[in-house]
Amino acid sequence: MKITLKQLHYFRALAQTRNFGRAAEMVNVTQPALSMQIRELEGALGVQLVERLPRDLRLTREGRAVLERAERVLSEAMELEASAKHASLGAALNVGMIPTVAPYLLAGTLARLRAADITRDLRLREAQTADLLMALREGRLDAVVLADPSPAPDLHVLPLFRDHFLLAGSTARLESLGGNSETLRPVTLRPDHLLLLDEGHCLADQALEFCQLDRRQTRLDLGASSLATLCGLVAQGFGLTFLPEIALPAETAAAPDMHLRRFQPPEPSRGLALVRRETSEGGVWFDDLHRHLCDAGAELLGRAAQIAPRD
C-alpha cells in the first residue's frame, strides 16, 4: 500500500490536535474516515504512530520522526502546487481588446494583475472585432475582450459587465435637444448631428442600430479611429456622439468642455465579454483575468456614476 498526501495531511492534523474528533473537524472529514486513514498509514509504514490513551494521545518515537518528514513532504507539495499555478499565471498572455475598451479598461486591469503576480507578462493587441476573432481562432491570441460577441460553437464566452452609453456634446448642442433624460431616446436624434467612429468599429455599428439609422444618413464620415478624437470634436460643438460609461473618467478629464446626458431607460448599452477558444485550456489564468477585468470595470463604472449620476 502506498503512502498518500491525504494520509500525511490527516496525520499532521492529529498530531496538532491530539484528538481524533478535533482532527477530523480540522480536515473536514468524519472521525471514522480519519481513523481509517491513520491505520492505513501505520500499516503502510509498518510502525505504530500514536499511543491511544483514554482521554489523550501522544506520538510514538516513530510517530515523531514520521511527522517531521511529513511536514517537509507537505511543504514541498504546497510549493510545487504554488509553483505550477504561478508558472501558468506568469506565462505571457496574449490578449486582444477592441479600441473602445482598451484605453479605459487596460490600466486598471494591469495594476490588478501585477499586484496579484509581479512576474505576469500580458501582451496586448488592440484591433477591431473581426481582426481579433481571426487572431484568436488562429492561436495568435489567448483571449479577447469584445462587445456583444455573436455566439459561435468554437468560442467560449464569459460575460464581464454591461457598459451603458451616454450622449456627449457641447452645452449648446445638448440644450438644443430640449427636454431631459426622461424624453431623450436614441431614435429621436437627428442623424445629421451624429459623429461616429470609422466604419468597422462595433461601437459605431451599435450606435447606428440604437438610432435605427444607416451610416449614409449621418452628418460626417470622419474616419476617426478613437473616441478621444470624437470627444474633442463634440466638445467644440461639432455634433454629438455616443460615449460608453467606462470612457467617462478619461474623456471628461481630457475634454472638460464636453457635457453629457443620459438616455431614457432602458439606456442603450453593450455587453462586454471575455472570449477564448472552446478547445483551449481555461482554468486559473482565464478565471483570474476575468475577475480582474470585472473589478477594473466596476471601478470605472463607479467613477462614471459620480461624473454623470442617474436622476
Q: DSSP class of residue 216?
A: G
pLDDT at residue 296, as a whole number: 95
Alpha-carbon span 11 to 28, nearest angstrom? 13
Asked whether residue 199 carries a pLDDT value surpassing 70, the answer given is no
Cell of 71: 511536514
Q: Give the model's pLDDT for residue 222.
A: 52
Residue 215 confidence (pLDDT) above 60: no
Q: How far is CA 17 from CA 29, 247, 293, in A?
A: 14, 55, 42
Q: List, in order, residues 6 or more apart from 177 with CB less than 8 Å away.
A: 184, 189, 261
Under 8 Å between Cβ of 197 and 225: yes
β-partners of residue 126 are 97
Between CA 96 and CA 92 the distance in angstroms is 13
Global pTM reads: 0.68
Average pLDDT over residues 135-145: 93
Locus of grid cell 442623424: 191
Main-chain dihedrals φ then ψ at residue 237, nearest 5 degrees: 95, 5
The residue ranking higher by pLDDT, 79 or 102, is 102
Query: Using an 8 Å Cβ cutoff, are 16 and 23 in contact?
Result: yes
Residues facing residue 259 across a β-bridge: 169
Q: Is the pLDDT of residue 273 over 90?
A: yes
Give residue-wise pLDDT tens across range 145-176. Answer: 999 999 899 999 999 999 999 999 999 988 88
- The enclosing H or E element of 214 equals none
Q: What is the pLDDT at residue 182?
A: 62
Q: Can you tell me whether residue 84 is helix, strand or coil?
A: helix
The pLDDT of residue 166: 93
Q: pLDDT digits over 227-271, tens only?
A: 888 899 899 988 888 899 999 999 999 888 999 999 988 889 999
Domains of the chain: 5-87 (1.10.10.10), 90-160+271-298 (3.40.190.10), 162-269 (3.40.190.10)
In the predicted model, is pLDDT for residue 280 greater than 90? no
Q: So what's the pLDDT on residue 81?
A: 72
Question: pLDDT value at position 213?
Answer: 62
Can you point out the beta strands (E) in the chain?
50-52, 57-59, 93-97, 122-126, 143-147, 155-169, 241-244, 259-262, 269-277
Nearby residues of 262 by Cβ (< 8 Å), 6 or more positions away = 164, 166, 167, 181, 184, 308, 310, 311
Counting Cβ atoms within 10 Å, is residue 21 exposed (0-12), middle (13-18) or buried (19+)? exposed
Share of the chain above pLDDT 90, in %: 50
pLDDT for 193 equals 81
Q: Residue 102's pLDDT is what?
A: 92
Q: In the prediction, which pLDDT does 82 show?
A: 64
Proportion of the chain above pLDDT 70, given as a percent = 88
Res 224 pLDDT > 70: no
Rounded to whole angstroms, what are the CA distances from 222 to 195, 219, 299?
8, 9, 32
Task: Note the pLDDT of residue 200.
Answer: 57
* Average pLDDT value over all residues in the chain: 85
Question: For 109-138, what is each residue's pLDDT tens digit?
Answer: 888 887 776 556 778 999 999 999 999 999
pLDDT at 64: 92
